[in-house]
Amino acid sequence: MIQRPFLIVETGQPVPAMRRYGRFPHWIRVAAGLAEHEAVVSNVEQGQALPDSDAFAGVIVTGSAAMVTDRADWSERSAQWLRQAAHQQVPLLGICYGHQLLAHALGGEVDYNPAGRESGTVHIDLHPPAAEDPLFAQMPLRFAAHATHVQTVVRAPEGATVLARSVQDACHAFRWGDRAWGVQFHPEFATHHMRGYVRARADHLRSEGRCARTIARDVTAAPLARKLLRRFIRHARGLSGR
């Protein structure tokens, strides 16, 4: 039986200094263990239309420097598509901007994080419901992950289960229904991605009274967070095979 590919919804580009490593869909595809023929990319930020979600085993939405609160036309169209896909029980995973966009699509609220910018390797703390979650089950109660964002999900969608938090962000992961997830952290980031983002945001961090050099020095590997991408792929394929 031929397996259906995964759709990667591209919502933005890496900071210029990191583009030598490719675009976000490439980072995600590699971290997820997908071959090139197993992934289809739709660059919605550049106006590409989203295809029929039924053609895919699952959908992953990338991060972006855009802000969900700007309500850009391409973003709102993507939110409408995600809302429909979620209700059609398509397996979905939103990352950073994708996490926020999925929350917005399902009726949650996104805004600037009252705790300020989160940047670097952070500690993710799981809530008790994560123990029964298909992606987070058997994960340690605390693990390292990479994060870089100023907006956040300030209110999860109605009926969603908040699965994780950090010191600065009360909703680092949620599940809506049994096939849609959002994670604020970046499971696709390796240490060089994270350090590159800290350096790129050094002026912003300095203006907020933080030291980019210290944050970059404290970046460590986050293998458990990275495993979530492969867990999503396996889970989605298992669902599509039923």
Could you say which of 104, 149, 172, 186 is catalytic? Answer: 186
- The per-residue DSSP string of 137-198 comes to TT--SEEEEEEEESEEEEEPPTT-EEEEE-SS-S-SEEEETTTEEEESS-TT--HHHHHHHH
Distance CA 101, CA 182 (A): 9
* Beta pairing class for 142-149 and 109-112: unpaired
Specify whether 96 is catalytic: yes
Q: For the segment 15-44, what is each residue's pLDDT rounded down to a tens digit?
A: 999 999 999 999 999 999 999 999 999 999
What domain count does the chain have?
1
Q: For the segment 60-103, what is each residue's pLDDT rounded down to a tens digit?
A: 999 999 999 999 999 999 999 999 999 999 999 999 999 999 99
Specify whether 171 is catalytic: no
This prediction's pTM? 0.97
Could you say which of 99, 104, 188, 235 is catalytic? Answer: 188
Q: For the segment 126-170, what is each residue's pLDDT rounded down to a tens digit?
A: 999 999 999 999 999 999 999 999 999 999 999 999 999 999 999
Q: Which two tokens stand for residue 95?
A: 């990352």
Report whether pLDDT(241) > 70.
no
Specify whether 118 is catalytic: no
Residue 1 belongs to some domain of the structure = no
Report whether pLDDT(242) > 70.
no
Residue 97 belongs to some domain of the structure = yes
Q: What is the CATH number of the domain that holds 133?
A: 3.40.50.880
Name the pLDDT band for 2 (thresholds 50, 70, 90).
confident
40 φ, ψ to 5°?
Answer: -120, 135
Strand-pairing partners, residue 9, are 42, 61
Could you say which of 96, 118, 146, 172 is catalytic? Answer: 96
Distance CA 168, CA 172 (A): 9
Residue 110 belongs to some domain of the structure = yes
Report whether pLDDT(1) > 80.
no
213 φ, ψ to 5°?
Answer: -65, -40
Residue 144 belongs to some domain of the structure = yes
Distance CA 49, CA 32 (A): 24
Q: For the segment 92-131, what is each residue's pLDDT rounded down to a tens digit?
A: 999 999 999 999 999 999 999 999 999 999 999 999 999 9
Instruction: Tell me the average pLDDT across 222-235.
Output: 96
Range of the domain at 119: 6-240
Report whether pLDDT(240) > 90.
no
